[in-house]
């Protein structure tokens, strides 16, 4: 897991797959998710319940806690932001 977290490129791909799997997004592939596009609303179109599910998955996989919407806004700003957030919190 440490190796995965340290390589931002691999981590980004891993997070895209995690989002698709966790939220069972049937019509979306890894290629459809842009690194800098917002995950919520106008971007990937996720909603607040999706955030609750992602938080649980992230805690299980990376042991990183996102406790509320304030932290979530920063962490879920984009795939890039999420990858950086996980890297920072894993240090």
Interface with another protein by CB under 8 A: which residues? Answer: 48-49, 51-53, 55-56, 59, 65-72
The least distance separating another protein from the CB of residue 90, rounded to whole angstroms, comes to 17
Could you give the CA distance from residue 47 to residue 11 in angstroms, rounded to a whole number?
23
Nearer to another protein, 2 or 68 (CB): 68
**Chain centroid to CA 50:** 11
The least distance separating another protein from the CB of residue 75, rounded to whole angstroms, comes to 10
Nearer to another protein, 30 or 56 (CB): 56
φ, ψ dihedrals at 45, nearest 5°? 80, 25
- Would you give the DSSP letter of residue 86? H
Nearer to another protein, 8 or 61 (CB): 61
Nearer to another protein, 14 or 76 (CB): 76
Closest CA to 14 of 73, 2, 38: 2
The least distance separating another protein from the CB of residue 54, rounded to whole angstroms, comes to 9
On whether the CB atoms of residues 56 and 19 are closer than 8 A, the answer is: no
């Amino acid at each position: 897991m440490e190796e995965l977290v340290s390589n931002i490129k691999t981590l980004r791909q891993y997070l895209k797959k995690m989002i698709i799997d966790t939220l069972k997004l049937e019509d979306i592939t890894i290629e459809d998710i842009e690194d800098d596009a917002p995950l919520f609303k106008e971007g990937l179109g996720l909603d607040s319940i999706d955030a609750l599910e992602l938080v649980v998955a992230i805690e299980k996989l990376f042991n990183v806690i996102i406790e509320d919407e304030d932290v979530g806004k920063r962490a879920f700003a984009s795939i890039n932001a999420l990858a950086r957030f996980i890297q920072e919190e894993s240090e």
